[in-house]
Amino acid sequence: MLSTDFFFDPYSASKLFTPCALSTFSSLEYARKMFDQIPQPNLYTWNTLIRAYSSSDEPIQSFMIFLQLVYNSPYFPNEFTLPFVIKAAARPVQFRVGQAIHGMFEDDLVISNSLIHFYAVCGDLAMAYCVFVMIGKKDVVSWNSMISGFVEGGFFEKAIELYREMEVENVKPDEVTMVVVLSACAKKRDLEFGIWVSSHIEKNGIKMDLTFE
């Protein structure tokens, strides 16, 4: 690609860069060197590098690259950029970073779902619930993220109440929902509701391929 100048085409470079950054045999060090040599990386390439670092041992690098994208590129972050930056910030030591990102985005379902998970992981369930409530049209991921946040935070009754509200809103639960709700029942020692949930799973043919504690 270097000898034919294809590497200097943003689209062609992005196709080469993706497996270098995200595949199982990838090397982030090599991918970063490659990225730095692309004359004009497109937004997809920026997002790919941010995504790669968000799952690495140096997730804070996602935020640093995000800042470079904002200040040194002609592109503005989109709905595919911010969820990975938020994922990278989803730990208490980087709580302020996540809060700063929260203040930068417009209303978007995917980003809002990521923020629910971020605040729940950082232990701020009140803020997670605030984001949840503000979502106009919630999808099953929105409900799962908030229910899971309550379970992880030890608020099992709240998790079950939210699941009941989900049913009232006619949002169809999936296997993730049921695993989390069953976990809440087990930790709350609510055998009666746990039996009802199990019968609901059988009645609706929900495939349970996941495990829970």
Q: Tens of pLDDT along 175-186?
A: 888 888 888 888
What pLDDT was estimated at residue 72? 87
What pLDDT was estimated at residue 104? 65
Band (pLDDT 50/70/90 cuts) for residue 213 is very low
Q: Tens of pLDDT along 143-166?
A: 999 999 999 999 999 999 999 999
CA distances to 6, 30, 35, 82, 94 from 112, rounded to whole Å, are 38, 33, 29, 10, 18
What pLDDT was estimated at residue 103? 63
What pLDDT was estimated at residue 212? 44
Instruction: Give the count of domains, the chain.
Output: 2
Residues 28 and 119 in one domain: yes
Question: Does the residue 130 lie in any domain?
Answer: no
Helices 156-168 and 175-188: crossing angle, nearest 10°?
140
Tokens 């049209």 sit on residue: 137
Residues 147 and 203 in one domain: yes
Question: Does the residue 48 lie in any domain?
Answer: yes
For 18, the domain range is 1-124
Residues 89 and 158 in one domain: no
- Which of 69, 92, 124 is the C-terminal boundary of a domain? 124
Q: Tens of pLDDT along 4-45?
A: 777 778 788 888 888 888 888 778 888 899 999 888 899 999
Band (pLDDT 50/70/90 cuts) for residue 209 is low
Residues 48 and 147 in one domain: no
The domain that contains 160 carries what CATH number?
Answer: 1.25.40
pTM of the model: 0.68
Name which residue leads in pLDDT, 30 or 104. Answer: 30
Question: Does the residue 129 lie in any domain?
Answer: no
Question: Does the residue 133 lie in any domain?
Answer: no
Residues 207 and 162 in one domain: yes
Residues 108 and 145 in one domain: no
Name which residue leads in pLDDT, 192 or 150. Answer: 150
- Which of 101, 124, 147 is the C-terminal boundary of a domain? 124
